[in-house]
A and B are shown apart, each in its own frame.
Chain A
Amino acid sequence: MTDTEKYDRQLRLWGEDGQAKLEKSHICLINGTATGTETLKNLVLPGIGAFTVVDGNKVGASDLGNNFFLDTTCLGHSRALKVSEYLRELNDRVKGSSCEEDPVALISDKITFFKDFDLVIANKLPEQSLITLAAYLYENNIPLLIVNSYGYIGYLRIVTPEHQIIESKPDTPLDDLRIYNPWKELEVESDNVDLSNMNAQQHSHVPYILLLVKFLKEWRNEKNNGKMPETRAEKDEFKKFFISKSHNSDEENFNEGVKGLFKYLQPPRVPSEVEAILNDPKTSNINQQSDDFWVLAAALKQFVDQHKVLPLPGNIPDLTSDTITYVTLQKLYHDKANADLEDFNTKVESIVSNTNRQPIPSDSIKKFAKNSRFINIIRYRSLNDEYTIPNTSVIQSEIEMDNNSNVNFYLVLRAVEKFNQTHNRYPGASDEDVDSDVPLLKSILATILSEISISSTIVKDDYITEIIRYGNSELHNIASLMGGITSQEVIKLITHQYVPLNNTFIFNGINSTATPFKL
């Protein structure tokens, strides 16, 4: 059982199901820097299951200037050990451990260390080790988040082959009410509405759903040869017809109907994200090894092929109505949703038995059916692809649109990592190198740009001097901001709710702008 009292404010977002997934997760952090501990802080607080910090460093003086999970007594001790200790204090339900080995050595000597984690967060990892780790985790289906804070700039990249989302929870979803395509019982219910025998009170309390269904049918048959209103003019005609049925402009139920009219006069459509899942090769190649998600998607495809619509979610919004009519209408939708679910369930069961695989829990089936409009899948490009088959067109068009685009910082940060790989130090790390590092970094950037077939003059020198000025400094504010962003993406990845970033994010702390890129 979770702690519903302590977690109340977050359970209202991701529910007990999301919470259970968090509590089962074991997350690895590479390097207990300020950025690293700020990320973990926001995951320990809401209650992940466990974390492990890998860090070979000892606590130094500068750690005390930016890392909140250390204090003066920690100087000289293992940073992995100390930050784990202080992070654990945030939540007694979370297990925390530390590994005092150098992550670079661990990756080259014993990479299997990482195979049991549910997710890995890497910070300040040299490029070569990062590429090795990223390839290993990609192969093993373990999400990797690469996060760095560099002066006023923040960088985040998410890498995982495939991420499945069952509840994308959009801000303002359009209710599926089947006004355009009512099922039989709804049509009968609306046919039975007899406005002529109603007093004023009753007349103004017929739910607009019934009014729209009723008058759409009437209008179609009387005025449009049975055809639905398609053109703008036809829709306007219908609107006038609908309004003419009201007693006066104060009838809230009619006003609600007019307000929703144009969005409900659209033919039912499977959202493009869902369409893509239905047409995915994985949906048509179900076998014993297929994930639950793809088995459910295959059943959904059969459902849509047969009914031409997605299963009805069955919830209706609050709308002007008297209590009894509302409750009756609610039940009508509820019954239809149950019927759809039963049909969907049968399809799932037959796939399960045909492929001889494990049955799927009924809660999962129900959740999938209810959220079938909101399922989504993201396939991230691997880091190796980003480096070897660069997405030149994205970078090119970003800069062409705005030569001060934040993509400039992505490019100079790539150069900074390459610089570190070559010189074993960061540009501008000490005061005396600030000026002499400019031509060095510039030539490295030119090499990177030529590899991605972009003109070397496209990035202004200002970006090079500014990034050298930072000299690998980690400001607490930027670390904390990136820790916030990163932890939020981790929560989305672990709970399979909401839609995570795809795939790169730059925060520009100079003017407080931020840009996502698909690289």
Chain B
Amino acid sequence: METPMATDAGQYQDIQGRWTDIEKIINRGGPMADFVPDTKETPNIKNGIQNDFKILVIGAGGLGCELLKNLALSGFRNIDVIDMDTIDVSNLNRQFLFRRKDVGKSKAEVAAAFINQRVAGCKVTPYKCKIQDKDEDYYRQFKLIIAGLDSIEARRWINGLLVNLVVVDNEGNPEPDTIIPLIDGGTEGFKGQARVIIPRMSSCFECSLDAFPPQTTYAICTIANTPRVPEHCIQWALIFGLEDKNLTKPFDPKKFDNDNPQHMTWLFETAKKRAEDHNINGVTYKLTQGVAKNIIPAIASTNAIIAASCCNEAFKICTESSGYLNNYMMYNGVNGVYTYTFEYEQKEGCAVCGTNIVTYETEPTITLSTFLENISQDPRFQLKKPSLRSNGRNLYMQGLLHEATVKNLEKTFKELNVSEADEINITDPSLPGNLAIRMKIIYKKN
């Protein structure tokens, strides 16, 4: 549809009276807000949201669609959206900017086009890429960033980047102009959370990593030897079935693809066979998909609640027309409407925003391999492939130095000369940038 007015944000002439609801809030002061309201002569706040402030939305999925709509109807006109994904049929029960004809197209592009057409004057610019493809200068242009992501890894990355963008003066005070607030939302079924992160001023995403429970994992030996529930059989098909040369597959097992129905059907049938061999009931196609793709239930209503809360905070931060969320709101709709709003505190020894060192209690007799296993399972760190250094020596390294250090795994801390109060430096691909966790070893006193 061709709109009579140019859609370029700068030139757009708005319909008289369109924003009266927002104007009441930004033109009138009140006892619960501390700000200078707009006047006819000095519409600073309105200029800010319509012209000066650029907002970034990360993710154009369930939360992303809501976030874009909410920002557009909060008066923002300069919005970027990043999402590398394409649209799937199972998105259509909640990602309301997409239709069946859009399946297979870029989420960011379809979402941006829809908003630009529906909300006159708003200009959303889509980027179909990874957030890691953009550099610091790109992120520096935003007034604030809202993330509607399902991946912890991506959230850690953007959080780390924004914390690093803050310039701290000689006295340790952050320079306000370099702080870009990050508003983060997440949902699962009837539950969700919204939070405001003011880098270097409040707790950051990394501070709260242990609030995210680790994924359900099944012991390999159970899967291999004593399967009991249908999930074990599906995992068996995924881990052992795919590798088994004696099992015929209608595809190249190295190119197994979750989204290919033929592959999924093979997986389901293999898991079902495994289950039948062990008298286990309950392997269904739906469950197979759920386990293989780690599907998290998602509905429109929860996304609406969390995204609206995120955008309400964004609007208030940009207009200063009210107080704001300090700094975490949990929502649970399973039993009544339960919310809990609290201040998530900065974590001692946070690898990203902290200056302190984490202390870790263990024994000198621990082998490096057990230690590695323990810290890898520790929800505080969320490590993937850690490398360890201590006293200027490599204890265990990934990549090129792996060969040279793998023999250390069987040695104890004592044999490796790791003494009480020594520091171990941990680097890991899941840690943003060149950050390292500094861990001080304390030995248990018996």
**Closest approach, in angstroms, between the C-beta of A234 and any C-beta of chain B?**
32
| B96–A41 CB distance below 8 A | yes
B433 interfacial contact with A, CB 8 Å: no
**Closest approach, in angstroms, between the C-beta of A274 and any C-beta of chain B?**
15
| A71–B120 CB distance below 8 A | yes
Give Cα distance in the complex from A501 to B15, angstroms.
Answer: 40
| Residues of B48-99 whose CB lies within 8 A of A | 66, 69-70, 73-75, 89-90, 92-94, 96, 99
| A512–B324 CB distance below 8 A | yes
Give Cα distance in the complex from A223 to B33, angstroms.
Answer: 68
| Residues of B291-338 whose CB lies within 8 A of A | 295-309, 311-313, 315, 322-326, 329, 332-338
B132 — which chain A residues lie within 8 A by C-beta? none
Contact A42/B300 with A12-B295, A480-B66 known, Cβ cut-off 8 Å: yes
A17 interfacial contact with B, CB 8 Å: no
B99 — which chain A residues lie within 8 A by C-beta? 89
Give Cα distance in the complex from A176 to B424, angstroms.
Answer: 47
| B336–A13 CB distance below 8 A | no
| A499–B334 CB distance below 8 A | yes
| A61–B17 CB distance below 8 A | yes
With CB as the reference atom, state the residue of chain B lying closest to A500.
Answer: B336
With CB as the reference atom, state the residue of chain B lying closest to A69.
Answer: B118
Give Cα distance in the complex from A205 to B298, angstroms.
Answer: 37
Contact A469/B227 with A480-B70, A484-B305 known, Cβ cut-off 8 Å: no
A168 interfacial contact with B, CB 8 Å: yes
With CB as the reference atom, state the residue of chain B lying closest to A322.
Answer: B226
Select B25's contact among A8, A151, A498, beta carbons within 8 Å: A151
A73 — which chain B residues lie within 8 A by C-beta? 1
A510 — which chain B residues lie within 8 A by C-beta? 32-33, 322-323
| Residues of A471-519 whose CB lies within 8 A of B | 471, 473-478, 480-481, 483-485, 487-489, 491-492, 498-502, 505, 509-514, 516
**Closest approach, in angstroms, between the C-beta of B349 and any C-beta of chain A?**
28
B25 — which chain A residues lie within 8 A by C-beta? 151-152, 469-470, 473, 475
A318 interfacial contact with B, CB 8 Å: yes
Size class of the B contact interface (CB-based, 8 Å)? 35 or more
User: Number of A residues contacting the other chain (C-beta, 8 Å)?
Assistant: 86
A363 interfacial contact with B, CB 8 Å: no
A38 interfacial contact with B, CB 8 Å: yes
B411 interfacial contact with A, CB 8 Å: no
**Most A Cβ at <10 Å: residue of B278, B296, B312:** B312
Give Cα distance in the complex from A428 to B118, angstroms.
Answer: 30
| B120–A473 CB distance below 8 A | no
**Closest approach, in angstroms, between the C-beta of B85 and any C-beta of chain A?**
15
B214 interfacial contact with A, CB 8 Å: no
**Closest approach, in angstroms, between the C-beta of B43 and any C-beta of chain A?**
15
| B336–A499 CB distance below 8 A | yes
| Residues of A291-331 whose CB lies within 8 A of B | 318-319, 321-324, 326-327
B229 interfacial contact with A, CB 8 Å: yes
| A171–B312 CB distance below 8 A | no
| A462–B31 CB distance below 8 A | yes
| A323–B304 CB distance below 8 A | no
B253 — which chain A residues lie within 8 A by C-beta? none
Give Cα distance in the complex from A234 to B305, angstroms.
Answer: 48
| A473–B21 CB distance below 8 A | yes
B370 — which chain A residues lie within 8 A by C-beta? none
Give Cα distance in the complex from A411 to B228, angstroms.
Answer: 56
Give Cα distance in the complex from A483 to B73, angstroms.
Answer: 15
Select A434's contact among B28, B66, B189, beta carbons within 8 Å: B28
Give Cα distance in the complex from A38 to B89, angstroms.
Answer: 22
| B228–A326 CB distance below 8 A | yes
Give Cα distance in the complex from A171 to B313, angstroms.
Answer: 29
| B322–A10 CB distance below 8 A | no
| B299–A13 CB distance below 8 A | yes
A65 interfacial contact with B, CB 8 Å: yes
With CB as the reference atom, state the residue of chain B lying closest to A507.
Answer: B339
B341 interfacial contact with A, CB 8 Å: yes
| B228–A45 CB distance below 8 A | no
| B290–A481 CB distance below 8 A | no
| Residues of A1-41 whose CB lies within 8 A of B | 4-13, 34, 38, 41
With CB as the reference atom, state the residue of chain B lying closest to A490.
Answer: B301
| B228–A13 CB distance below 8 A | no
B18 interfacial contact with A, CB 8 Å: yes
Contact A478/B226 with A65-B18, A470-B25, A514-B337 known, Cβ cut-off 8 Å: no
Contact A10/B24 with A466-B31, A477-B312, A511-B324 known, Cβ cut-off 8 Å: no
B17 — which chain A residues lie within 8 A by C-beta? 60-62
| Residues of A135-186 whose CB lies within 8 A of B | 151-152, 156, 168-171
Give Cα distance in the complex from A60 to B280, angstroms.
Answer: 62
With CB as the reference atom, state the residue of chain B lying closest to A70.
Answer: B118
A474 — which chain B residues lie within 8 A by C-beta? 21
A97 interfacial contact with B, CB 8 Å: no
Give Cα distance in the complex from A480 to B31, angstroms.
Answer: 25
**What 1/0 flags go to B108-137 for Cβ under 8 Å of A?**
000000000111100000000000000000
B260 — which chain A residues lie within 8 A by C-beta? none
A465 interfacial contact with B, CB 8 Å: yes
With CB as the reference atom, state the residue of chain A lying closest to B307.
Answer: A480
A64 interfacial contact with B, CB 8 Å: yes
Select A68's contact among B3, B118, B315, B332, beta carbons within 8 Å: B118
Give Cα distance in the complex from A11 to B333, angstroms.
Answer: 17
A60 — which chain B residues lie within 8 A by C-beta? 17
**What 1/0 flags go to A52-78 for Cβ under 8 Å of B?**
000000001110111110011101000
Give Cα distance in the complex from A327 to B230, angstroms.
Answer: 12
| B74–A511 CB distance below 8 A | no
A46 interfacial contact with B, CB 8 Å: yes
Contact A12/B290 with A71-B120, A512-B329, A513-B341 known, Cβ cut-off 8 Å: yes
**Closest approach, in angstroms, between the C-beta of A503 and any C-beta of chain B?**
10
B30 interfacial contact with A, CB 8 Å: yes
| A6–B190 CB distance below 8 A | no
| A485–B305 CB distance below 8 A | yes
**What 1/0 flags go to B186-227 for Cβ under 8 Å of A?**
000110001000000000000000000000000000000011
Give Cα distance in the complex from A236 to B306, angstroms.
Answer: 45
Give Cα distance in the complex from A428 to B29, angstroms.
Answer: 12
Give Cα distance in the complex from A431 to B25, angstroms.
Answer: 11
Give Cα distance in the complex from A476 to B117, angstroms.
Answer: 18
B1 — which chain A residues lie within 8 A by C-beta? 73
With CB as the reference atom, state the residue of chain B lying closest to A482.
Answer: B308
With CB as the reference atom, state the residue of chain B lying closest to A45.
Answer: B300
| A511–B323 CB distance below 8 A | yes
| A45–B96 CB distance below 8 A | yes
| B118–A71 CB distance below 8 A | yes
| A476–B302 CB distance below 8 A | no
A466 — which chain B residues lie within 8 A by C-beta? 30-32
B16 interfacial contact with A, CB 8 Å: yes
| B73–A487 CB distance below 8 A | no
| B335–A327 CB distance below 8 A | no
B19 interfacial contact with A, CB 8 Å: yes
With CB as the reference atom, state the residue of chain A lying closest to B333.
Answer: A488
A276 interfacial contact with B, CB 8 Å: no
B66 — which chain A residues lie within 8 A by C-beta? 480
List 8 A-B pairs, minimum CB-CB distance, nearest first.
Answer: A484-B304, A484-B305, A481-B308, A512-B325, A476-B73, A61-B17, A488-B301, A480-B308
Besides A168-B335, A327-B280, A512-B325, 15 other CB < 8 A contacts? A9-B297, A65-B20, A65-B22, A66-B21, A170-B334, A171-B332, A428-B24, A480-B308, A483-B304, A484-B302, A489-B337, A498-B190, A509-B322, A512-B194, A512-B309
Can you spell out 20 A-B residue pairs with CB atoms less than 8 angstroms apart? A8-B90, A8-B289, A9-B296, A13-B297, A45-B300, A61-B17, A62-B20, A68-B119, A152-B312, A318-B231, A321-B228, A323-B226, A466-B32, A477-B70, A477-B309, A477-B311, A478-B312, A485-B301, A498-B333, A516-B337
Binding site for B on A (CB under 8 A): 4-13, 34, 38, 41-42, 45-47, 60-62, 64-68, 71-73, 75, 89-90, 151-152, 156, 168-171, 205, 318-319, 321-324, 326-327, 428, 431, 434, 461-462, 465-466, 469-471, 473-478, 480-481, 483-485, 487-489, 491-492, 498-502, 505, 509-514, 516
